Amino acid sequence: MRLWPAAAATRHETALVRAGWIVGDALADIDVVDLSEAPDEAITRLRALADANRPAMALLADPSDAGPAVAAGATHLHLLGGGIELGDSLSAAARLVRARERRSGDGALGQWLAQRQGDSQTLIRVQLLRLDLVNAAHGRDLGTSLVAAAERRVASVLEALADEDDTALIRVPGPGFVAAIAGPVDLAILAAARIEEALDRPFRLEGVAVTLGARIALAGSRPDEHSAALIARTERALGDTGGEANDELEELALDLHRGMSAGQVTLVFQPQASLETGRITGVEALARWQHPRLGALGAERLFAAAERGGIALALSDHIQRLVLAQVAAWPPELSRLSVSLNLTPADLDRPRFAETFLDHVDALGLPHGRLTVEITETGLMADLTAAAALLATLRAAGCRVAIDDFGTGYSSLAWLKSLPVDYLKLDKSLAQDIAGTERDRVVVRGAIDMARSLGLSVVAEGVETEKQRALLAEEGCATYQGFLLAEPMDEPALAAWIAGR
């Protein structure tokens, strides 16, 4: 719970407890705004909280203040001295007040449109996406700053395309904006495209890179149409663009933030073995999400949800720390195994990532030589020079480096020879092609020969049949992993599996 002004905390917290508001964490995620002091500033704060889609309780000294508080965006009311209105009925009331304001056309937008009655006018409705996810991941203060930064970007687009008198930008609950343009429809279409592009670019606030995105709809004026009708058509057009903010991935992104804190992200380990001797040489650490409703989810959906929620870096860091901590505590029967863990392209962009990673390894007392870091070949291509420098630092410290999913992207001698790499990991589809046509086998053989010509060892992923294993060994592949050897398993199962071999 956050109280404003700060002095209200001492004065009103006991009253709120007695009124039954604070039970455990019931108000942990709500702003409480005291209207009994500085009412104008309090109303301004309520509006800012509504714009950021944040729940807010208004503390009232006079019941007559309830109307202005609801209109400003309060989702809960508490009348000091007794009497509480709360919950869904008030939230619905707030929505009705806002909808009535929109329909009337009496606000700033309606006035702007009325002044240009008869001119060609187009409204661009912008609804910001993922703000709830940003609030959950980084805090609501950053979310408020993000809305303001988005508004500045939209305003910059309008300023670049039209005279100030021919445009208007109004912030509306949702959160979002309505941009109004007087002039040809083609100009509004161009503005909408540039607004979408501007909002798709990452925002960097307080050292955090955040991606929002937006849903955008347009509606043009019609002869003899009242401004309220144009506003209503724009809202309907936005509804017709679809419910991306409510799709499964959005819900997963919200779940993931809570799931990381609740320990739902866990690890499994898939063994790797020498094709020549059959000896177990190491394991690859793989993340799984034990979702309370959907069950175990793999890394693909896990990272897709993290990307949608703007917490991909936080997830990658979380998984790396899980791997290192778990491996550092392994019993003696597992301590000889090397461990591979995956880096993301975003990790390569982090300042001093290699040094931070190695510091954490050293703090746990892990030998660098037991660790192999894997990065996909497509992930390397954004900045090959920077990636090479980072991987060189890790390799110079004793870690080994592998290019994962090799054969799915930009495979070539030109860039391979510039990278400090120890292994190539053949993508599952490429490794399984070894048992396909003669042409398929030639392609696999070429990839293995290219790697060996550079002094690199080759690991085949996704090996499922004895025929695949035998042919890969024949072509000079050194190591394999896949269901033929073992499925991914948790640590206790891995220890039992190793002991039984």
Choose the weakest-confidence range: 26-35, 98-107, 360-369.
98-107
pLDDT more than 70, % of the chain: 79
Closest CA relative to residue 55, chosen from 101, 5, 90? 90
Q: Is residue 229 part of a domain?
A: yes
- CA 114 centroid distance within chain: 41
Pair (190, 57) in one structural domain: no
Pair (420, 330) in one structural domain: yes
User: Which pLDDT does position 484 carry in this prediction?
Assistant: 95
- How confident is residue 134, by pLDDT bands cut at 50, 70 and 90? confident
User: Which pLDDT does position 413 carry in this prediction?
Assistant: 62
State the Cα–Cα distance between residues 374 and 427, nearest whole angstrom: 13
Task: State yes or no: pLDDT of 10 exceeds 50.
Answer: no
Pair (168, 195) in one structural domain: yes
- How confident is residue 412, by pLDDT bands cut at 50, 70 and 90? low
> Is 457 in a helix, a strand, or coil?
strand
Domain boundary among 66, 100, 134: 100
Q: Is residue 304 part of a domain?
A: no
Q: Which amino acid is at 213?
A: G
Q: Is residue 253 part of a domain?
A: no
Per-residue pLDDT of 488-498, as tens digits, reads 999 999 999 99
* Number of domains within the chain: 3
Q: Is residue 169 part of a domain?
A: yes
Pair (221, 370) in one structural domain: no
Pair (219, 85) in one structural domain: no
Pair (451, 342) in one structural domain: yes
Q: Is residue 249 part of a domain?
A: no
State the Cα–Cα distance between residues 356 and 6, nearest whole angstrom: 38
The tokens 């993922």 sit on which residue?
130
| Range 407-434 average pLDDT | 79
In the numeric block, which tokens belong to residue 86? Answer: 């709360």
Domain with 400 in it: what CATH number? 3.20.20.450
State the Cα–Cα distance between residues 45 and 43, nearest whole angstrom: 5
| Range 271-291 average pLDDT | 95
Pair (484, 342) in one structural domain: yes
Q: Is residue 330 part of a domain?
A: yes
Q: How far apart are the first and last CA of the chain?
A: 56
Domain that holds residue 152: 105-244
State the Cα–Cα distance between residues 209 and 348, nearest whole angstrom: 14
Pair (125, 206) in one structural domain: yes
Pair (44, 117) in one structural domain: no
* Residue 375 and residue 320 in contact, taking contact as beta carbons nearer than 8 Å: no
Pair (163, 222) in one structural domain: yes
Pair (41, 57) in one structural domain: yes
Per-residue pLDDT of 167-225, as tens digits, reads 888 887 767 888 989 888 888 888 888 898 888 888 887 777 777 778 888 888 887 77
Cα-Cα-Cα-Cα torsion 142, 95, 170, 213, nearest 10 degrees, comes to: 50
Q: Where are the alpha helices (DSSP H) in 139-184?
A: 140-161
Choose the weakest-confidence range: 9-13, 120-124, 481-485.
9-13
Domain boundary among 45, 80, 100: 100
- How confident is residue 463, by pLDDT bands cut at 50, 70 and 90? very high
Asked if residue 271 has a cis previous peptide bond (ω within 30° of 0), the answer is no
User: Which pLDDT does position 53 carry in this prediction?
Assistant: 63
- How confident is residue 451, by pLDDT bands cut at 50, 70 and 90? confident
User: Which pLDDT does position 111 carry in this prediction?
Assistant: 74
State the Cα–Cα distance between residues 400 and 392, nearest whole angstrom: 10
Mean pLDDT of the chain: 79
Domain with 50 in it: what CATH number? 3.40.50
- How confident is residue 245, by pLDDT bands cut at 50, 70 and 90? very low
Q: Is residue 70 part of a domain?
A: yes
Q: Comparing 389 with 59, which gets the higher pLDDT? A: 389
Per-residue pLDDT of 288-305, as tens digits, reads 999 888 888 888 888 888
* Residue 341 and residue 163 in contact, taking contact as beta carbons nearer than 8 Å: no
Per-residue pLDDT of 299-342, as tens digits, reads 888 888 887 776 788 889 999 999 999 999 999 989 999 999 99
Q: Where are the alpha helices (DSSP H) in 267-417?
A: 299-309, 312-328, 345-349, 353-363, 377-380, 384-396, 413-416
User: Which pLDDT does position 81 carry in this prediction?
Assistant: 56
Domain with 164 in it: what CATH number? 3.30.70.270
Q: Which residues contact 174 (CB under 8 A, 6 or more apart)?
A: 53, 127, 128
* Residue 484 and residue 462 in contact, taking contact as beta carbons nearer than 8 Å: no
pTM over 0.95: no
User: Which pLDDT does position 64 carry in this prediction?
Assistant: 61
User: Which pLDDT does position 481 carry in this prediction?
Assistant: 96
Q: Comparing 14 with 480, which gets the higher pLDDT? A: 480
User: Which pLDDT does position 96 carry in this prediction?
Assistant: 33
Pair (81, 130) in one structural domain: no
Angle between helices 140-161 and 131-138 (to 10 degrees): 140
- How confident is residue 466, by pLDDT bands cut at 50, 70 and 90? very high
Choose the weakest-confidence range: 20-29, 79-88, 437-446, 475-484.
20-29
- CA 258 centroid distance within chain: 13
